């Protein structure tokens, strides 16, 4: 009975839901410099104000928590459920083709625009789920709160501030990932390593190496300059490494030496196996060249030993681990800059259940130290909500009822808003098999999936709060 009511409600309000998502997508809410009352800049503040205006117009009690987050509440009983979404977005490039990033458009059933999938579309779907329960008069014994954050993409200082003032609800879900339900988020080991040495004039030698911009992105390009070798002398080695790694190289002779540019394929740091790491591919090539023994070549060969191309499990570094529920530990060297007798690099590790500071970071610290590099590394524990927990069972039941598909709890290497919440899981909004180009050009959300998500969110509110 409730399902039929919800289906009819969202059929009637489908276009309105899309238009309200577009209201938020039109706001450039990339993090900016803080201003009074705007801790993350005017963009996120404007998106928050617009969303709270929207919720207020639907009759919800709303509040801004010092501009960090906003909340919308429904129900008179004790708070049972928090729905945690965010309104800030990642920066945009100039490679959009369907529409401009902040000029939303619906085309062939897809809503294009930055934030349409991550996470403004899901946030509005959750708001409409609360509205549907309210306007249909479905009774609740307990209350629900929608929490709208503004700094999820840049460190989640917004939620840290909020939870200094409020306790988490007994149950929380975030519509900022995938269906069916994500109940396990791997731990994370992020490391920054450095080294310095006296430069030598010996030839051939590495003049510079540059790859990567962010620790959580596997670099698709890398470049090095080598003095004392020519393109002809390196060509055969480059072809051999290309055949083994899938990394292609361009070789250009110049006044300062040979420029070696590596081309691979970028990927998210949590899924290094999905890309072709240009950084480690270039390390492979340089380690095979007849370089003079100096500080630069020693570190390059050492890094090639610790992060050999294709070893995305951290086996060479001694931190590989597998757990049946969470899967494999992954490890990717993602940033490296070397020049003028010094280097700085970063790696991104997503660790299986059972990993910790001692068997992961401390092992890497020792391995780096033995090779003349200093490492700062901290391990963040995994987040696990048992598969038999009521929130997992109820959300899976809801997913199966509305999609007709079998639902199983998932483990991911990425982290969501709920990573530090005792009873928090991720629920939607991306359907299995859908690549909505999150964080990339031409990001989109499937309109049918957003509407279906809103129906499931409404059903979840009823099931969890009655």
How many residues are present in the chain? 466
**How far is it, in rounded angstroms, from Cα 22 to Cα 182?**
27
**How crowded is the C-beta side of 204, counted as CA atoms within 13 Å?**
18
Provide the angle, in degrees to the nearest 10, between the axes of the packed helices 2-25 and 42-57.
Answer: 150
Q: Which residue has the tokens 């290094």?
A: 272
Across the strands, what pairs with 261? 223, 250
Provide the angle, in degrees to the nearest 10, between the axes of the packed helices 390-403 and 447-465.
Answer: 140
Q: Per-residue DSSP letters for 305-365?
A: HHS-TT-TT-TTTT---EETTTEE-EEEEEEEEEETTEEEEEEEEEE-TT--IIIIIHHHH
Helical H runs in 26-168? 42-57, 120-135, 157-162
**How far is it, in rounded angstroms, from Cα 331 to Cα 309?**
11
**How far is it, in rounded angstroms, from Cα 389 to Cα 403?**
21
**Chain centroid to CA 306:** 25
Of 415, 406, 405, 350, which is closest to residue 182 (Cα–Cα)?
415
Supply the residues annotated as catalytic: 88, 152
Helical H runs in 199-348? 231-245, 278-287, 295-306
Structure tokens given for 124: 């509005």
CB 277 within 8 A of CB 264: yes
């Amino acid at each position: 009975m409730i399902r039929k009511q919800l289906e009819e409600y969202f059929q009637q309000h489908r276009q309105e839901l899309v238009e309200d998502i577009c209201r938020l997508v039109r706001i450039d809410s990339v993090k900016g410099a803080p201003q009074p009352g705007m801790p993350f800049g005017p963009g996120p503040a404007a998106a928050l104000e617009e969303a709270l205006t929207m919720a207020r117009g639907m009759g919800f009690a709303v509040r801004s928590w010092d501009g960090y987050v906003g909340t919308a509440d429904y129900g008179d009983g004790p708070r049972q459920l928090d729905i945690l979404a965010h309104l800030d977005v990642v920066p945009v490039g100039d490679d959009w083709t369907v529409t401009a990033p902040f000029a939303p458009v619906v085309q062939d059933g897809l809503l294009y625009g930055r934030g349409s999938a991550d996470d403004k579309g899901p946030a509005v779907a959750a708001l409409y789920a609360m509205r549907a329960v309210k306007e249909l008069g479905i009774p609740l014994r307990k209350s629900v709160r929608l929490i709208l954050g503004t700094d999820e993409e840049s460190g989640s200082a917004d939620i840290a501030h909020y939870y200094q003032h409020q306790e988490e609800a007994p149950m929380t879900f975030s519509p900022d990932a995938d269906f069916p339900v994500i109940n396990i988020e791997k731990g994370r080991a992020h490391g920054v390593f450095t080294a310095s040495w006296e430069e030598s004039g010996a030839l051939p030698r590495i003049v510079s190496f540059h790859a990567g911009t962010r620790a959580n992105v596997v670099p698709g390009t890398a470049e090095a300059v080598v003095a004392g070798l020519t393109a002809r002398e390196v060509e055969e080695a480059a072809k051999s490494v290309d055949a083994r790694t899938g990394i292609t190289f361009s070789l250009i002779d110049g006044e300062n030496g040979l420029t070696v540019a590596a081309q691979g394929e970028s990927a998210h740091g949590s899924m290094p196996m999905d890309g072709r790491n240009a950084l480690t591919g270039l390390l492979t090539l340089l380690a095979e060249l007849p370089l003079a023994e100096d500080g630069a070549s020693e570190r390059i060969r050492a890094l090639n030993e610790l992060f050999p191309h294709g070893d995305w499990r951290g086996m060479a570094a001694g931190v590989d681990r597998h757990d049946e529920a969470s899967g494999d530990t992954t490890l990717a060297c993602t940033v490296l800059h070397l020049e003028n007798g010094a280097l700085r690099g970063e790696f991104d590790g997503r660790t299986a259940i059972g990993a910790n500071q001692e068997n992961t970071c401390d092992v890497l610290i020792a391995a780096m130290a033995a090779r003349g590099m200093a490492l700062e590394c901290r391990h963040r524990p995994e987040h696990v909500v048992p598969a038999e927990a009521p929130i997992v069972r109820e959300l899976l039941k809801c997913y199966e009822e509305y999609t007709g598909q079998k639902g199983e709890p998932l483990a991911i290497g990425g982290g969501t808003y709920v990573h530090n919440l005792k009873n928090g899981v991720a629920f939607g909004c991306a359907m299995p098999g859908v690549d909505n180009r999150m964080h990339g050009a031409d990001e989109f959300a499937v309109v049918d999936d957003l509407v279906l998500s809103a129906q499931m969110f409404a059903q979840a509110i009823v099931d969890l709060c009655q």
